[in-house]
């Protein structure tokens, strides 16, 4: 039995599968799921993320959170949370950089949320110098200030796709033909939850909805609006999306998302407007390109300081990593950064010129 056979049998028994069910099955199936069974990160894996490219990424993110913590009166107990921490590299770099901020690391209750047992084991090793706990549900976050990081997390959450048809919608779904998985369309149906999208879409437009993001934003919204803090969300995507962004990445290449289920990373672009709408009691910053954000936080000065002690191939790799994180033709423009914060607090560092 393979994941393909399992999905084909499920479709044969119960009819076409929605994309959100397909994503959840492919990514998190207990036996064959993509994240459940492997460490996909790094040069030898399927994709590489910013914290794996350079220590500077986690250091600057950590210091930006610590700066907000100072601006908010340096509360002596707070949650330092990360959604989908991967190998734990970002959190380790952040905590190391923040040792210089008196009281910050001592006041932080480090809390991680990750669905992958394989990656949780790696996080435990990476962060073995710190007291860290894992939770499955952000609902249980303590009622205290929350400083949260989500890098390349929301893109991994399952989406649904709807094609506009008159004043209704047809859901894109997955069926089976000659034992191959194929996309199809469900019947035209009204979708009251999409009524706002009738205003700005046309016949044949495709829109994506990520209901799975709501519980996370709900928890963020409540803690931050009442107790203070900030949530830093970094991902590929944009403000207000239309069109098909469902994609599969395997060995650093785009592949067909229906081929080899469980063998490729499945993602969709993040609609930051939808995240903001799900956190209505928080203030949100502008959506800033990652390259601009990191430059404003001082990545060039940090890069120069590190470069002073490097030579040869190490120096070349370091210069290439700086470029990769910030240059508009690399990750600098595709990736966007946005923060949610308490209305009464000033915007965090890096969001205004
Ligand atoms: N933030 C990390 C890893 C990004 S990959 C980095 O920048 O390197 C996405 C991460 O989200 C993985 O750790 C994966 O296990 C986790 N993840 C994916 N879907 C999830 C879900 N539904 N709930 C919790 N964690 C999830």
Q: What is the pLDDT of residues 204-221, one digit of tens each?
A: 999 999 999 999 999 999
pLDDT at 43: 74
Rounded mean pLDDT, 47-51: 95
- DSSP readout, 256-274? -TTSSTTSSEEE--EEHHH
Which residues, in sequence order, are CB contacts of 182 under 8 Å at separation 6+? 174, 175, 176, 258
Q: Name the token pair of 243.
A: 């069109």
Q: Are 114 and 81 in contact (CB under 8 A)?
A: no
The secondary structure of residue 125, as a DSSP letter, is H
69-97 confidence digits (pLDDT tens): 999 999 999 999 999 999 999 999 999 99
State which ligand 1 atom lies nearest to the alpha carbon of 84. Answer: 11
DSSP3 helix / strand / coil % (the chain, rounded to 5): 40, 25, 35
262 CA distance to ligand 1 middle (Å): 15
Per the document, the length of the chain is 353
Distances (CA, A) of 28 to 49, 114, 156, 277, 329: 20, 11, 10, 27, 32
% pLDDT > 90, the chain? 96
Parallel, antiparallel, or unpaired for β 78-83 and 108-113? parallel
Residue located nearest, by CA, to atom 10 of ligand 1: 84
Give the residue from 234, 223, 247, 261 showing the smallest Cα distance to 350.
234
Predicted confidence (pLDDT) at residue 37 exceeds the cutoff of 90: no
Count of H-run helices and E-run strands, the chain: 15, 17
Cα–Cα distance for residue pair 188/166, rounded to 1 Å? 9
153 CA distance to ligand 1 middle (Å): 5
Cα–Cα distance for residue pair 138/113, rounded to 1 Å? 8
Predicted confidence (pLDDT) at residue 3 exceeds the cutoff of 90: yes
> Would the pTM count as exceeding 0.85?
yes
Q: Name the token pair of 166.
A: 């008159």
243-288 confidence digits (pLDDT tens): 999 999 999 999 999 999 999 999 999 999 999 999 999 999 999 9
- Torsion sign across C-alpha atoms 39, 40, 45, 48: negative
> Which of 62, 83, 84 has most ligand 1 atoms within 8 Å of CB, for mutation?
84
Per the model's pLDDT, the better-predicted residue between 182 and 41 turns out to be 182
Q: Are 33 and 27 in contact (CB under 8 A)?
A: yes
152 CA distance to ligand 1 middle (Å): 7
3-state secondary structure of 21: helix
Ligand 1 proximal residues by C-beta, below 6 Å = 27, 35, 41, 49, 51-52, 84-86, 90, 113-116, 119, 151-153, 156-157
Predicted confidence (pLDDT) at residue 1 exceeds the cutoff of 90: no
Q: Are 41 and 198 in contact (CB under 8 A)?
A: no
How would residue 7 be classed by pLDDT, with cut points 50, 70 and 90?
very high
Q: Name the token pair of 320.
A: 């290439």
pLDDT at 42: 73
**To which H or E segment does residue 44 belong?**
none
135 CA distance to ligand 1 middle (Å): 13
Q: Is 296 left (phi over 0), alpha (psi -120 to 50) or beta?
A: alpha
3-state secondary structure of 127: coil
How would residue 44 be classed by pLDDT, with cut points 50, 70 and 90?
confident
150 CA distance to ligand 1 middle (Å): 9
State which ligand 1 atom lies nearest to the alpha carbon of 116. Answer: 15
3-state secondary structure of 214: helix
Which residues, in sequence order, are CB contacts of 60 under 8 Å at separation 6+? 97, 294, 297, 298, 299, 302
166 CA distance to ligand 1 middle (Å): 37
326-345 confidence digits (pLDDT tens): 999 999 999 999 999 999 99
- Torsion sign across C-alpha atoms 115, 143, 344, 282: positive
Cα–Cα distance for residue pair 30/49, rounded to 1 Å? 24
Q: Are 311 and 36 in contact (CB under 8 A)?
A: no
> Which of 55, 153, 262 has most ligand 1 atoms within 8 Å of CB, for mutation?
153
144-199 confidence digits (pLDDT tens): 999 999 999 999 999 999 999 999 999 999 999 999 999 999 999 999 999 999 99
How high does pLDDT run on average in the chain?
A: 96
């Amino acid at each position: 039995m393979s994941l393909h056979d399992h999905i084909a049998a499920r479709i044969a028994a119960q009819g076409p599968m929605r994309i959100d069910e397909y994503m959840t099955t492919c990514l998190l199936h207990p036996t064959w799921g993509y994240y459940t069974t492997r460490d996909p990160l790094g040069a030898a894996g399927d994709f590489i993320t910013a914290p794996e490219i350079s220590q500077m990424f986690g250091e600057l993110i950590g210091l930006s959170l610590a700066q907000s913590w100072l601006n908010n009166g340096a509360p002596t107990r707070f949650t330092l949370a990360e959604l989908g921490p991967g190998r734990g590299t970002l959190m380790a770099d952040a905590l190391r950089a923040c040792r210089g901020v008196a009281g910050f690391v001592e006041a932080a209750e480090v809390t991680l949320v990750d669905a992958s047992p394989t990656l949780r084991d790696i996080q435990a090793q990476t962060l073995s110098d710190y007291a860290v706990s894992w939770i499955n549900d952000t609902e249980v976050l303590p009622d205290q200030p929350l400083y949260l990081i989500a890098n390349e997390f929301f893109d991994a959450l399952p989406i649904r796709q709807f094609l506009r048809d008159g004043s209704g919608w047809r859901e894109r779904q997955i069926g089976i033909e000659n034992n191959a998985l194929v996309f199809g369309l469900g019947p035209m149906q009204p979708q009251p939850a999409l009524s706002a999208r009738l205003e700005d879409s046309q016949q044949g437009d495709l829109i994506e909805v990520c209901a799975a993001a709501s519980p996370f934003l709900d928890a963020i919204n409540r803690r931050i609006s009442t107790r203070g803090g900030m949530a830093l969300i970094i991902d590929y995507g944009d403000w207000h999306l239309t069109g098909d962004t469902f994609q599969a990445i395997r060995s650093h290449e785009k592949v067909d998302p229906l081929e080899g289920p469980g063998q490729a990373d499945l993602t969709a672009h993040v609609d930051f407007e939808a995240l903001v709408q799900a956190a209505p009691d928080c203030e949100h910053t502008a959506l800033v390109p990652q390259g601009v954000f990191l430059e404003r936080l001082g990545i060039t000065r940090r890069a120069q300081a590190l470069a002073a002690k490097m030579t040869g191939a190490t120096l070349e790799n370091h210069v290439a990593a700086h470029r990769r994180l910030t240059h508009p033709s690399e990750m600098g423009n595709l990736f966007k950064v946005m923060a949610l914060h308490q209305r009464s607090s000033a915007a965090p560092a890096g969001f205004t010129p």
